Amino acid sequence: MLLALDIGNSDTTIGLWNGNTWLHIWRIPTKPDQPELFYGIKLRDYFFEAKVDVAKIETIVLSSVVPVLTDKLTGVIKILLGKKPIILGPAIYNRLAIEVLNPYEIGSDLVSNAIAAYDHYKNTCIVVDFGTALTFTALSSTGKILGVSIAPGLKTAIKSLTQNTARLFDVPLQMPTSALGTSTITAIQSGILVGYNGLIKSMVNEIRRELKEDCPVVATGGLSSVITPLHDFFDWVEPNLTLNGLRIVYETLNVDE
C-alpha cells in the first residue's frame, strides 16, 4: 500500500492507496507549532480506527509547502512505519513525466496537480486549485509547466475582509441569490463568490488566449464546488487531484526501479 501526504498551508491531507482506490482519506489542520507527537498520535489513531496493517504500507510519498512540517512528518513516519518518505521536490523532478518551471520556487502541491492533470489528458490543460491560495497552473501538450497565477483563496479573502471591519461576521461560503446583498453577510458573499466567479472565468479565458488553445480546465481543492455557476465551466472536477499526483509519482518511481 501507498501512504500519500499533502501538507498544505491550511490542512494536511493523508491518503491510503491499496493499488486500486483510496481506501481512506484523512485531514488534519496544519499547525506548524505543534510537536511531532501531535501528528504521531493523529496518524496512529487513524490507523487504529481504520484497522490498517501498517506492515503493508510499502511506500510513503510526501508533498509539503510548509518546510518545518516536512521534517516533523518525516520523523513521525520513521517512528511509526520505520521508513523514509519520498519527498516530492527538485531532487526527483527530472524523473517525472512533466517539465517543472522554476523547480525551487513552485510549490510541490502544484507540481503534483500538474502530474495528475497531464496523466489524465496527455495534452495542454489548466489546473485551478481552490486552496488557501487560488492558483491557475498551465501545462503544454508536452507536459511542461508554462506558468502559474496566484490569487487569495476564498476563505483567505473572506477572512481578510472580516478581520478588518469594525464588526466581525461568520460568513458561510455559499452562493448568494443576488449580486446585490441586502445584509452585511450577503454583501460579502456577493462580493467574494460572485466576484470570484468572474475572476476565475476571466483568468481561464486569458490563459487560453495566450495558449491559443481552448484547452480543458481541471478544478481541485475542497472549495471547488462552492461557486455553483462554475459547475458546467470546468471539464473535470477532482478533489483528490494532489493525492493522485503523489500516487503517480510513486508508480513512476517504482517503474524506474
| Coil/strand/helix, residue 3 | strand
Residue 140 φ then ψ, to 5°: -85, 175
Query: Among all residues, which ones are annotated catalytic?
Result: 109
Distances (CA, A) of 23 to 4, 52, 156, 243: 12, 10, 31, 12
- What is the spatial distance between Cα 29 and Cα 13, in angstroms, rounded to a whole number? 9
Residue 245 φ then ψ, to 5°: -65, -40
End-to-end CA distance of the chain: 17
3-state secondary structure 95-127: CCCCECCCCCCCCHHHHHHHHHHHHHHCCCEEE
**Which three three-digit cell numbers place residue 214?**
481552448
